[in-house]
């Protein structure tokens, strides 16, 4: 009796050279795979046991504010609450941050537990490489659980110039064609970038940019008035146009020296045809204070010293157009599920010309519509106390109401 062994369909012992080469290649692949598995755990997966007893194998991604993300090759990304999880065991190192942890810079990194992790009986236990014992953290207190890579990126690395911006862009328009022709266009964009971008680190700096504009025109076409005897020539009434033009642009940079106090530098530019203001320029710096900040709302108070230059359309107003003054401002933002509200107040006195002061208020309410789009309502009320004398008389107060569509701009890492 002759025994013949077959490997991958090739009889072992076949004298042919080609099958022998195939056999040697397959044996090499097997040995290489075994060597890799000895050095790197092959198929090492995190294990998640659900409260109903089901067990999933895959990769634990992160936990943020009680929402756990777990990736399974069969089911994809799953989002679960801690109440749905009975046990969890990871092979990768994670950092666990409690609700009250607020870090500032690299020196406070030692406060963060780091290592492989398991969850059982409603508590997170971290196993650091040095074997130090760390008290378990209740899952309700573990506000953020993230990888060592994400932690290093947030604390040690700086954002590129184009990364990390959030904000909104708004646009609206109307056109009327009748006895008079009329059109109005409004728009604006606001962008903010805070570094670091994660909420569990104290802010280091903040940059904000803003621009709003409104332009409109009403045109009454020229026409002829029939001749009145004894004249036989019709009288021509020339075309009359009335326009409105308002824009505001600003930029601000905040540098935090504590979680709530910051130094700031700012520039602002304003034009308002209805107030005879060709251009108002402001360059200043000062201090700010975050009165309160939560996940849903924030309020800031600011005060600056500044140089201000005013230029008017019909000439200079009484007093010097070069002013030394301040801006005292307050801003408030509220984010709810069904609406977002933002308000800004500012008072701008001038110390070398007490008559040349101004004030403004902006209010915006937006309602989610579809994905990143929302419907917005806004008002802008500005008061300029020193417009020049003109005919027709220039009103000191300017008020506008706008409606439009807003597109939310989300940060790019």
Contacts of 4 (CB under 8 A, 6+ apart): 11, 12, 13
Of the candidates 361, 362, 360, 353, the one whose C-alpha atom is nearest the C-alpha of residue 386 is 353
As given in the structure block, the two tokens for residue 190 are 């606001």
% of the chain at pLDDT higher than 70: 83
Mean pLDDT for 81-101 is 86
What's the Cα-to-Cα distance from 201 to each of 70, 115, 412, rounded to whole Å? Answer: 24, 20, 18
Enter the DSSP assignment of 134. Answer: -
Tens-digit pLDDT profile for residues 295-321:
899 999 999 999 999 998 886 545 457
pLDDT, position 14? 47
> Sorting pLDDT into bands at 50, 70 and 90, what band is 339?
very high
**3-class SS shares of the chain: helix, strand, coil, % to 5:** 10, 60, 30
Q: Are strands 235-237 and 277-293 parallel, antiparallel or unpaired?
A: unpaired
pLDDT tens for 58-75 read 999 988 888 899 998 888
Least confident of 148-157, 184-193, 203-212, 259-268: 148-157
Full DSSP string of 294-343: -SSEEEEEEEEEEEEEEEETTS--SS-SEEEEEEEEEEEEEE-SS-EEEE
Q: Which residue has the tokens 């803003």?
A: 210
Q: Which residue has the higher pLDDT, 109 or 188?
A: 188
Q: What value does the mean pLDDT take over residues 213-237? A: 85
CA distance 183 to 179: 13
The pLDDT value recorded for residue 195 is 84
pLDDT tens track for 340-366: 999 999 999 999 999 999 999 999 999
What pLDDT was estimated at residue 115?
A: 87
Over the stretch 114-125, which tens digit does the pLDDT of each residue have? Answer: 889 999 988 999
Q: Which residue has the tokens 């940059």?
A: 207
Strands (E), 24-81: 46-50, 55-64, 67-72, 76-81
pLDDT of residue 58: 92
Residue 1 has pLDDT above 50, yes or no: no
Tens digit of pLDDT for each residue in 170-218?
999 888 888 888 889 999 999 999 988 777 677 889 999 999 999 999 9
Q: Give yes or no for a contact between 59 and 46, defined as CB atoms under 8 angstroms apart.
A: yes
pLDDT at 26: 55
Choose from 77-81, 139-143, 328-332 the range with maximum mean pLDDT: 328-332
| Band (390; pLDDT cuts 50, 70, 90) | confident
The answer to whether the beta carbons of residues 337 and 320 sit under 8 Å apart is no
Enumerate the domain spans of the chain.
5-39, 46-156, 166-409
Amino acid 153: pLDDT: 73
Specify the higher pLDDT residue, 318 or 378: 378
Q: Which of 87-96, 132-141, 327-336, 373-382 has the lowest mean pLDDT?
A: 132-141
Average pLDDT, the chain: 83
Burial annotation 145-170 (CB, 10 A radius, 16+ → b, else e): bbbeeebebbbeeebeeeebbebbbb
Note the pLDDT of residue 9: 47
- Does residue 16 register a pLDDT over 60? no
pLDDT mean over 380-396: 87
Asked whether the beta carbons of 325 and 359 are under 8 A apart, the reply is: no
Note the pLDDT of residue 3. Answer: 46
Fold held by 166-409: Porin (2.40.160)
pLDDT digits (tens, 9 = 90+) for 232-242: 788 888 888 88
Which position has the higher pLDDT, 151 or 51? 51
20 φ/ψ angles, rounded to the nearest 5 degrees: -65, -35
């Amino acid at each position: 009796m002759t025994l013949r062994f077959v490997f991958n369909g090739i009889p072992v012992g076949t004298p042919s050279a080609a099958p022998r080469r195939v056999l040697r290649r397959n044996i090499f692949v097997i040995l290489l795979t075994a060597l890799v598995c000895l050095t790197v755990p092959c198929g090492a997966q995190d294990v998640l046991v659900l409260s109903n007893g089901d067990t999933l194998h895959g990769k634990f991604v992160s936990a943020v504010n009680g929402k756990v993300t777990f990736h399974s090759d069969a089911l994809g990304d799953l989002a679960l609450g801690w109440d749905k999880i009975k046990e969890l065991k990871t092979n990768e190192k994670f950092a666990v941050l409690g609700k009250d942890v607020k870090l500032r810079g690299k020196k406070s990194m030692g406060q963060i537990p780091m290592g492989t992790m398991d969850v059982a009986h409603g508590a997170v236990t971290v196993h650091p490489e040095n074997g130090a014992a760390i008290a378990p953290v209740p899952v309700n207190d573990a506000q953020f659980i993230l990888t060592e890579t994400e932690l290093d990126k947030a604390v040690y690395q700086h954002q590129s110039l184009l990364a990390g911006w959030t904000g909104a862009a708004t646009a609206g328009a109307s056109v009327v064609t009748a006895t008079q022709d009329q059109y109005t266009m409004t728009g604006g964009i606001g962008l903010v970038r805070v570094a670091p971008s994660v909420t569990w680190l104290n802010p280091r700096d903040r940059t904000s940019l803003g621009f709003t504009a409104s332009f409109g025109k009403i045109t009454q076409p020229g026409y002829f008035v029939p001749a009145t005897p004894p004249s036989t020539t019709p009288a021509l009434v020339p075309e009359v146009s009335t326009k409105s033009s308002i824009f505001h642009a600003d930029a601000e940079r905040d540098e935090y020296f504590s979680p709530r106090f910051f130094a700031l530098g700012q520039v602002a530019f304003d034009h308002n045809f209805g107030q005879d203001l060709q251009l108002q320029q402001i360059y200043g710096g000062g201090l700010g204070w975050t009165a309160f900040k939560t996940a849903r709302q924030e309020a800031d108070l600011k005060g600056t010293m500044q140089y201000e230059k005013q230029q008017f359309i019909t000439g200079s107003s009484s007093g010097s157009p070069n002013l030394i003054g301040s801006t005292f401002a307050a801003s408030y933002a509220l984010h709810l599920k069904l609406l977002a509200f933002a308000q800004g107040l500012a008072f701008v006195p001038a110390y070398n010309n007490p008559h040349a002061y101004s004030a403004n208020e902006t209010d915006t309410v937006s309602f989610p519509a579809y994905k990143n789009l929302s419907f917005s309502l806004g008002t802008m009320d500005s008061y300029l106390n020193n417009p020049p004398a003109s005919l027709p008389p220039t009103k000191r107060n300017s008020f506008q109401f706008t409606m439009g569509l807003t597109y939310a701009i989300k940060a790019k890492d």
